[in-house]
Chains A and B, each alone.
Chain A
Amino acid sequence: MTWNYSKKTTELFMAAVQGKPGTHLGEIEDADGFGEHGSIACGDALRFTFSVDRHPTDPKKDRITDARYLTFGCTSAIAASEALCAIIEEGDFTPIEALKISNQDLVDYLGGLPQAKIHCSVMGAEALEAAIFNWAQKRGVDLAELGIDIRREEQEEGRLVCTCFGLTEPYILRKIEELELRSIPEITNAIKAGGACMSCHHQPGGLQDLLLKVWGKQSTSLSQLPVLPMAREALAQPPQEMSPFKFAKLVEHVVDEYVRPQLAKDGGDIEIVDIKDTVVYGRFLGACSDCAGSSRTLKMMVEQALKDRVDQRIRVVQV
């Protein structure tokens, strides 16, 4: 795949690598704002620092005077870093104003980015945000009080969805919404999630489910084929030494312990009809039985509970 970067992108990149005047390579010592995004293992990383002209009485009126970056990454990652600093330099922003700079602003500044490189602009926006949060902390500005979402829930480490790039459910959900991502390829292009082993695409609670959660049912992506059941089995763990009797007992136990209390909250229940090898046949009862909309979610909930606690190969068939 050859390069199809815009003229602006290649100009910024070449100016940066040649260290031309007006470029923003570097790191500010004792910076007022310090933010990082990415890692060397993931293939790109950005360290962004800025300094401010401190307002004598109100830190909220600090003005960003200088912005610098160090970037490990491809042509477009370096160009996007340069674009970020240039936008900030031209804007004469307060840090709080700078929070409004989005990845799309970087893309526009660059005159567009190839779809597969959108994550480079997202990385710039993320590092900027991290640096501004860092500034707020240093200067004692309470961003939450100003109505700014400081991602408290994400700091509590949500469930890991993309293990390859270490991305959690709350983060991915927010990005799906913020960047209006409508398909798995769009998610991967923007934030890299699902771009490596791809096992999180269609597993329960995976990217497809997160898309459904944000956009509802209409967002099904026809370009993505579902993982075949056999593939899922192949990915699962090696068989455990367990007699059919013990296996069934354990399934019952997990259903009693973890599944039934959940269903009971909505006035429902489940009956285990049969178990053949690792296929569990279940029937939903009570309030759950005639709720067509939720049956898929229920089935997945039960299946996940059994997979996690009994055997990865388990499939639940709704009777």
Chain B
Amino acid sequence: MSVIYLDNNATTQVAPEVVEAITPYLTGEYFNPSSMYDAARGPADAVSAARRRIAKLLGNARPNEILFTSCATESNNTAVFGTVAANPDRRHVITTSVEHPAIHNVAQDLERRGFEVDFLPVDSEGRLDVTDFVHALRPDTLLVSVMLANNETGVIFPVEELARITKETDPGIVFHTDATQGVGKLPIDLRGSFQNVDLLSFSGHKLHAPKGIGALYIRRGTPCRPFMLGGHQEDGRRAGTENVAFIVGLARALELAVEHHDTDEGRIVAMRDRLQRELENRIPYLQVNGGAAPRLINTLNVACHFIEGEGILYQLSSHGICASSGSACTSGSLEPSHVLRAMKIPFTAIHGSVRFSLSRYNTEAEIDRVIEVFPEIVASLRRMSPYWDAERDAPRPEALEMLEAPDMPQDHA
């Protein structure tokens, strides 16, 4: 059975052009770029060329502002712990309640170390209130870390504006953004609209490069101590032999994303919108999470009331369809997604969330297939749900009452 891959916010297919670009560095050009002999010039040149291309594609940044890491998680850890280590006098950090775990758990760790951390709330559409952000800024604020786009809902945050407010308040505050879901999909101009962003993280495998390569942009002059110590690679800011092949792959993938952007964008958003519209038409008690907020064009997060997401994924998988869910049974913890909880998605729906995330490799026929099977999967699970009246094909009255209840009966926060 062929796979219909709609989980591109988790990882992506490696582009054939990327495979082609990296292959020489996995075969003949294996030399260590730090070595002195002529043979090593090829890999060394490839790394610096990749650095220049990436810097240019992010809005004419300086090449030495780009640091290669192993993944976005490492970039995020470096950004936060590096900033903390370089600014011992400040003890306050601002972030949001919906960050990826690679920021969320790092911020919680800072809290355990005695830092004060504000986790800004979001509204039911997943949007930040800039007023909340302004109130949170303090004289001893050290770092602001706000993601560019949310991985679960695709909701885009006004990072440019928040960065400007931050710098106008106090240029000493470091502004970081986890742009993992945004790079390749949203325009990033580090000399223009992103000029107040000091640190920016992203990874390769969300934009059709392989897993195991990430990057951190560190604006010139931003104090940031290294997270990994060792050799002199990356100007001593990130030790460890360069992953030459994947660095080349990252640059190629970013080039492709920019090249394809204009032609792909309209096609992807049309498929996503059609999927959303058809599911909304066919499935009662379905809500689109973050639907009213500015969103990434490839992401659709729906919540099906009165059923649980793991059973949905299991049946989708039996049709060869790959998607993900924020339900407790799929999270590795026993709690549903912290993002959906922060949005106060009704507790009748939070366990029944499903995320579809598209890429340029998806086709209309694949979307047709999802539209065909998904409503039946939802109906089959509702027939077994104690909150659903199978005869009337509608929620039971007591379940509807729960839906109207203003708060969750149990606060998991």
Contact = CB atoms under 8 A, between A and B. Distances in A.
B360 to A, nearest CB: 26
Which interface residue of A17, A69, A188 has the most chain B CB atoms within 10 A? A17
Nearest to A71: B384
B258 interface: no
Interface residues of A, number: 42
Contacts of A41: 347, 408-410, 412
B214 interface: no
B306 A40 contact: yes
A164 B318 CA distance: 33
A142 to B, nearest CB: 29
Given A3-B314, A228-B112, A70 B332 contact: no
B59 interface: no
Which interface residue of A1, A17, A70, A72 has the most chain B CB atoms within 10 A? A72
Given A43-B334, A164-B412, A196-B335, A73 B112 contact: no
B113 interface: yes
A71 B347 CA distance: 16
A202 to B, nearest CB: 13
A234 B111 contact: yes
Contacts of B113: 230
A77 interface: yes
A188 B334 CA distance: 9
B387 interface: yes
A76 to B, nearest CB: 8
Contact of A77 (B111, B308, B315, B347): B308
Interface in A33-71: 36, 39-47, 69-71
A78 interface: yes
Given A44-B308, A70-B386, A234 B112 contact: yes
Contacts of A228: 112
Contacts of B384: 16-17, 25, 69-72, 78
B308 A74 contact: yes
Nearest to A26: B390
B95 interface: no
B335 to A, nearest CB: 4
A195 B413 CA distance: 12
Nearest to B408: A41
B299 to A, nearest CB: 22
B210 interface: no
Interface in A65-107: 69-75, 77-78
A292 interface: no
A40 to B, nearest CB: 6
A313 interface: no
A25 B383 contact: yes
A13 interface: yes
A78 B311 contact: yes
A286 interface: no
Nearest to A232: B112
Interface in B384-413: 384-387, 399, 402, 408-410, 412-413
A74 B334 CA distance: 12
Interface string A202-238: 0000000000000000000000000010110010000
Secondary structure type dominating chain A contacts: mixed
B385 to A, nearest CB: 5
A195 B314 contact: no
A283 to B, nearest CB: 29
A150 interface: no
Given A40-B351, A74-B308, A74-B311, A196 B386 contact: no
A240 interface: no
B77 interface: no
A81 to B, nearest CB: 8
A73 B334 contact: no
Interface string A185-209: 0001000100111000000000000
B310 interface: yes
Contacts of B381: 17
Given A74-B327, A195-B334, A230-B114, A43 B315 contact: no
B348 interface: yes
Interface string A6-23: 000010011011110000
Contacts of B351: 40, 43, 72
A239 interface: no
Interface string A252-280: 00000000000000000000000000000
A40 B412 contact: no
Which interface residue of B111, B318, B336, B410 has the most chain A CB atoms within 10 A? B410
Contacts of B329: 43-44, 73-74
B328 interface: yes
Given A16-B384, A234-B114, A195 B311 contact: no
A166 interface: yes
For the complex of A and B, the 4 pairs showing the least CB-CB separation, nearest first, are A195-B334, A74-B310, A70-B386, A43-B328
Interface of B: 111-114, 306-308, 310-311, 314-315, 317-318, 327-330, 332-336, 347-348, 351, 377, 380-381, 383-387, 399, 402, 408-410, 412-413
22 contacts: A3-B314, A10-B314, A13-B311, A17-B311, A17-B381, A40-B348, A40-B351, A40-B402, A41-B409, A43-B336, A71-B385, A72-B307, A73-B310, A73-B329, A74-B310, A164-B410, A164-B412, A165-B334, A165-B410, A192-B334, A195-B333, A230-B113
Given A39-B409, A196-B333, 4 more contacts: A19-B380, A41-B410, A44-B329, A228-B112
